Amino acid sequence: MSEPAGTEEPSSERSSSAGTFSQVFAKALEGNTVTVTVLAIVTAAVVGGLLAAFTNPVVLHAPAGDIIPKAWSVVAGTYVALFEGSIVNPHTVAAFFQQASLPTAVHDGFLGAVFNPLSETCVAATPLILAGLAVAVPYQAGMFNIGGQSQLIGGMILSAWLGFGVSMPIVIHVIVCVIGGFVGGAVLGWLAGEIKARTGAHEVIVTIMLNYIMAYLLAYLLSSPSLLQKPGSTDLITPEVASSAHLPQLFGNGIMRVNAGFLLALACAFGAWWLMNRTTTGFELRAVGANPSAARVAGMRVEHAWVLVMSIAGGLAGLGGTAIVLGTDFAVNPSNFGTYGIDAITVALLGRGRPAGVVWAGLLFGALTAASPGMQSQANTPVQIVQVLTSVIVLFVAAPPLIRTMFRLRATRARGVGTTMSKGWNA
């Protein structure tokens, strides 16, 4: 977490940016944040590989001498499937170059097949980045937002309703729906912030309760034909969003699903960075997070900051829901909010609460998510391995001293990430 000036020692990474190669290398050995993150990912991969290998029925039933080769093939299969499902599949590349001519290959969708895994990674990363920002931004202001799920649902409901219930001209419609999604989430964030500001009720309790309330409210809306349920349907699903409200796909109407929602997520990450680090409001928010009493003495309105930051966060999470509804699913059902609310916390933590970090963490988790069906079908590794991998990565990232001990790195002079993030929730 970046802290306002004066509360922390100067961090090491800032001074390393202008270093020569040898200085950079020395920094790497000292265990700076990049090294720690890379090592954490490697360690998690090893742990995940061991888990995948020694719970696989093929390995468990293998004769004693055959265990190691069989285990190796399972691990290799899992990670090959991970690479092919999230970055590039060599078979599609080969197929692309076997076509008679480049134009026909592009026309027949072979190029799309090559880039499809990357596209799926971005699609999966979009709500993770937006919901991750919804955790990271309030964290800098000293609030812990577990309510990503409720805010995501709020955004989904409003953007979907605007999408199918209202007809508008083509460009305006999608803009109105996106704004509606922001508002839908922001209302729920505002509610949690306002309750805390007015009564002092802990935002952790309120946001957890709101998650349940919104999940059941969504189920209620979807089961009432007079409200959101698709007319003439018994399924719990809304009518399809009008095509004028779809977020445009970035590469035409081909196989690749990556859409403007991904650009929206990147823009929001930049906006969050700009807000928190380049504006007076952001400085106040961070000051309230670092020490509310000091901020109050300095004349800042602490309660106002809480409400503001929760509203912004809610809006960001709401945009995450909007990106799902208008970008890929085009209708709301009781399951497409998934587990983004909780996954967002992990994303925010891996990104260390910084917007740029959240983008990278969202892409990493998006890649794992996009590849998980392939890992299940090709290597017989259950999809839950993704959750294990992400948790182990964050656990190691959050504990730099552990990674340093394991890999015998020297300690940096500045304090580790874990310590700068540690403060009680009564602060």
Partner 1 sequence: MTTTASPRLPDLLPGDGSAGALGGARRFAMPATFLVFGLVDILLGARSHGSAILSFTPQFAKVTIPNLTIPAAGTCYLSGALTLLLAVAALVPAVAPRAVPSLGNRAWRRVAIGVVLFLFVIALLAWSDVSQSSGGSEAIPINIVNLLSGSLNQSIPIMLGAITGVICSRSGVINIAIEGQLLLGAFCAAIATSATGSLWIGLVCGALAGSLVGSLLAVFAIAYIVDQVVLGVVLNGLILGLTGYLYNSILVPYGDTLNSPATFNLWKIPGLGDIPILGPVFFDSTVFLYITYIVLAFVSFALFRTRWGLRTRAIGEHPVAADTVGIRVLALRYRNVILAGLIAGIGGAYFTIGSVGSFGINMSSGEGYIALAAMIFGRYTPWGAVLAALLFGFTTQLQSILSSINVPIQSNLLLLTPYVVTIIVVAGLVGKVRGPKAEGVPYVKA
Q: Which is nearer to partner 1, 95 or 187 (CB)?
A: 187
Nearer Cβ to partner 1, position 39 or 146? Answer: 146
Of 187 and 302, which has the nearer Cβ to partner 1? 302
Least separation in angstroms between residue 165's CB and partner 1 is 21
Beta-bridge partner residues of 259: 249
CB of 229 to partner 1, least distance (A): 12
Q: Which is nearer to partner 1, 199 or 335 (CB)?
A: 199
H or E stretch at 248 = none
How many beta carbons lie within 10 A of that of residue 64, not counting itself?
6
Question: Min. distance of Cβ 2 from partner 1 in angstroms?
Answer: 15
Q: Which is nearer to partner 1, 70 or 202 (CB)?
A: 202
Query: In whole angstroms, how close is the CB of 389 to partner 1 at the nearest point?
Result: 8
Contacts with partner 1 by CB under 8 A lie at 51, 55-57, 144, 146, 195, 198-202, 204-206, 208-210, 212-213, 216-217, 219-220, 223-224, 292-293, 296, 302-303, 342-343, 345-346, 349, 381-382, 384-392, 394-395, 398-399, 401-402, 416, 418-419, 421-426
Contact (CB, 8 A) for 276 and 331: no
CB atoms under 10 Å from CB of 191, counted, come to 21
Contacts of 356 (CB under 8 A, 6+ apart): 269, 273
CB of 205 to partner 1, least distance (A): 5
CB contact at 8 A, 19 and 27? yes
Nearer Cβ to partner 1, position 159 or 346?
346
Q: Any residues with CB less than 8 A from the CB of 185 and at least 6 apart, and which?
A: 134, 151, 152, 154, 155, 314, 315, 316, 317, 318, 319, 320, 321
Which of 142, 144, 178, 194 is closest to 341 using CA atoms? 144
Classify burial at 351, counting beta carbons within 10 Å of its beta carbon; exposed 0-12, middle 13-18, buried 19 or more. Answer: buried
CB of 9: closest distance to partner 1 in angstroms?
Answer: 14
